Structure 1
Amino acid sequence: MCRSILPFFFYLSLLHLITPTAQREPYVCYETGNYTSNSTYRANLESLLASMSSNTDIDYGFYNFSAGENSDKVNSIALCRGDRTPDECRTCLNASSYDLLQVCPNQKEAITWYGDCSLRYSHRSIFGVMESSPLYAFYNTANVSDVEGFNQVLRPLLDRLIKRAASGNSTRKFALASVPAPAFQTLYALVECTPDLDELECSYCLVAAQQFIPQCCDGKQGGKYVTPSCDLRYEVYPFYDPAAEAPPPSTSTPSPPQPQQPVLPPSPPPIKALPPTEGKGGNSSRTALVIVVPIVLSGVVIISFCICVFYLRLRKQREEVETVDQIGRSESLQFDFGTIRVATGDFSDANKLGKGGFGFVYKGALPNGKEIAVKRLSKGSAQGDPEFKNEVISNQKYKLNWEMRYKIIEGIARGLLYLHEDSQLRIIHRDLKASNILLDKDMTPKIADFGTARLFVRDQTQGNTNRVVGTYGYMPPEYVIHGNFSVKSDVFSFGVLVLEIVTGRKNTSPRDGENEEGLLSYVWKNWRAGTTSKLVDPSVTSTSPATQIMRCIHVGLLCVQENVANRPPWRQLF
């Protein structure tokens, strides 16, 4: 569902260049600080760049060096394409160093993508930091004859390569491969990350570049997309030595199925009545029924009553035992204040994880090394022991993994698609929020509470009201300010829900009475900074498919755009 969402609204602000591949390789001179030609910073920079291009000890094409101290310290990262030899790599770095010093003569921070290598340096810390901005795109000017068929080959190929590259080690995150393409062509592709990133960060960076392909260069025979932390390229001609490709595995593993347009679950089968039993006729059997039934019926009633009483008592005992056991477990999670204070570093801001309904949550470590989460109640909080125990029990019972969260997102989307597109009358919910999504025993979501819903005829697209009803934080600005509502109002609310599910954070609004950064602001800030890996709820990151999560973040941000016209229609969300 989230696969086809295209974050053009974000990348248009980041894209510095879209140009045919024959144009000059790009560079950026950052305006974050300058140095003079005879300064210590310049001397450190020249020494650092010279040592990188002449280093013969590193043969894997990745360099992360520093030189100098304090304000004169220079940090530099260089990455050569994974299929290049050490000599080719050093030649590229030498040329890119000279070129970058010429075009950025006094900037403390700069980057260039020069042929088959990239080089960047900065006065700030850049090691182990995923940065997907700026993004440069180049395209092959020739068009493919079958765009849909080409994309059906390109997308799974890049997905496989991204997974392979992201799972690389600390010296190499690189993958390439070729596959047959339509019109008797072969499609060649290559992806790589700076290996100082972890698996999730590498995946995020490459997926961000991949997601821009349809908006920039759909239907082109080739493209190259570069960012400070990763790059990818594909062509219909061999731009690398095919001998560099890894041999195919002995047993083929089918690629994961692509998300299809969701189909509403079929209606439940009609309930079939049991056929009537055939009794024998005659006066004798009718007489026996008159006499025997009252006696038998009385016995059945008495026995049934006894069974019900026994069952209710047994169930109550089980519930009491279960409740005591659960409360016992929650009691074990309460510690004296001194222990908690030490574990959290005296409730240090550095250990602050977020804010719940009753106070801030901190991470900590007990003397035995066990990591814990600690809630410190805010002033005026109404939460007491019963509420705390209930929260612990609920968290133990209903902690969702990513598979469940994704299932819930898809289920909500299917429900809204039905309300907006497939129902005889178009239904605008107007109060879509977390508490109005009910989950059954299989964690299948059901949209509830249609008390504020409005019905539209098929050709009606929007409405207006002087009485704004709904929940702040989920309502779009045009509805709150002007009373205008439409299908796009529910799209906005859906986007908020998606971001809540991905991040594990509740959205807030100015009406909450807190000076806390709202969820939407928090997500946008990390998105623009290229730190999207920080957005994912820590409880699901270890087992989550990064590409799927990134696409869901894209969906959420697309849906919560302030401009109504920029929010995607439902049919484009699938």
Structure 2
Amino acid sequence: MLFTMLLVSMLSHSALSSTVPLLTICSSAFTYSPNDQFAANLKRLLDALSSNTAQNIPNRPGFYNTSLDVLQDRVYGQALCRGDISSHDCQECVHNATHYIFTNCNKTDAIIWYELCQVRYSQSPSLAIEVYTGNLLDYNNQENKIVSKKTRFRKALMYLMNNLSIESAFSPSKHMFATGKIEFSKKKTIYGLVQCTMDIPPELCKQCLDSALGDIDACCSFRQGGIVLGTNCNVRFELFQFYNDTKNSPLVYPFPKGDEWKIWKTLVVTCTSILLLAIIIGSCAVYLRQKKGTKRDDTKENALLQELARPKTVMITQEGNLVTSEELPFIDLATIRAATDEFADSNKLGEGGFGSVYKGELPDGTEVAVKRLSLKSRQGLEELKNEVILIAKLQHRNLVRLVGCGIEGDEKLLLYEFMPNGSLDFFIYDSERRCQLNWETYYNIIAGIARGLLYLHEDSRHKIIHRDLKPSNVLLDHDMVAKISDFGMARIFCENQNAANTKKIVGTYGYIAPEYAMGGVFSIKSDVFSFGVILLEIISGKKNSGSYLTEYGHTLLSYAWRSWKDGQEVEFVDPWLMESSPPHEVLRCLHIGLLCVQEDPEDRPKMSEVVVSLRGSESVSLSEPKQPAFALGRLVPSDQSTVYPTMNGLTLSTILPR
């Protein structure tokens, strides 16, 4: 099940005002103008949602979806009211939501949540098929106190919410909505509510709720309340009755018998085990201190392996990212060996910095690319954990999908969707293979890379910096759709974080931004620089790492800049490309590429601006580019260079500015 979910931890009843939105997301990169046809269609659609959602309450409680298409500007929309409210309250809430979202969001895809309803519209028809991008938000609510008797509370909470999920999904009379309560002590009761939109089948409703409860369990099962807001399902619990008790009869669940004794028994066994373990560790302390540093590394490696492979585990990163092993299928080694014919050389697709990649076919016929990390590489394990945490929940058309993970003994394996057309570098550097693709395909590849980066930088649950974007990390599927891959070096940024500094420079020479190569400072603008280099390479058919002794400069970037400055842009573009494509489109891409590789990160555009520029064609004006970074730079002689270790086994030489 693919869906979008935002996790909110908040408790005070006053914080959930019925007149103030809980959350609004204007997620599309594309905007509309107040006077265009899309705006007119959207206004009519939102009015229809407001008037029709409440009318459906007798038969299909508080849910309505529709679409409108005038002059081929189609827009889809849906509204959902909480199942325990009246028709009047439903209509009022949807009216407020549609008015607010139309007034405050000019994007072509948006969703808004109130306490009593939610409204969404989109250009896409697949409103019921959503991408999971869970996000943990810390509101620092002082009233959201930690409960006492955490184990008993969690047991009661999950027992209640799991039962409510089953009722809402599979009981037709519930209309995918259920409320209930459970008494976990003599004076305290937990109240719960779950609901799904009615455009999905019961099985997907249950799957959506299970995933939401997984995040509730990870973040809030020891607190006095929590809410999950999703496009297809919502979950909430409190220690006070927040729903209408008369509108929809709540379910009452008794606390499972024997739990108190089980809890004490568990505590006694756990404490005893810890004590015995402490004695064993103490008796071996002298021996452990004599072990070499490599043994400490092995211990850390084993801990990472156990963390990844533990069944039903929840991994929470320092950035608040949630990943559960239930969400990422773990595939046994025997299945992977059979899929790759025992990692046969005939199935080998290539060699990377951390190991080999093989083609395989799973028992269900799914073709996969199996990334087999080096058997004894601790760096490979760090990369594996980073990729699992990052990609497990990242789902986008222009990102390679992680199918599964295999960890057994020394074997560390990642399984991705198979890309039959290989990587972008296979086509752009070879004069014969370049001609196999037309300009439309190249243009779509450029736009696809841009959309993938936009998702990572602005539209995913966290701001993610790839840090190793290059043509070999852009893969092409059956339809030549570009998909960004290899997230082993990626970094997550906090919501308000714009840049970070590191002493360990990673990446590939030729694609690293100057501020990162020389000062260790990286940001979303570092990825923009890498994108600009790839764009210039696609247009010219040349590598940035090469040397071009022409009248226009010594490097690809200086070559592009001098050609542009002297009005000789066609000298830079591959002649075949210029002959087989609309010249204005190619030259516009050259213009965008030069804007992306400017020396000052502040001068480079954001990926949202790049996407709009590519999509807007001549209607979107572009600023004049400045001289790019290292346009006349040179490598320091090897005996004078400062070498930085990198995670992929490469080294970087310090580069002198102009």
Superposition TM-score tier, normalisation by shorter sequence: 0.3 to 0.5
TM-score (norm 2): 0.41
TM-score (norm 1): 0.47
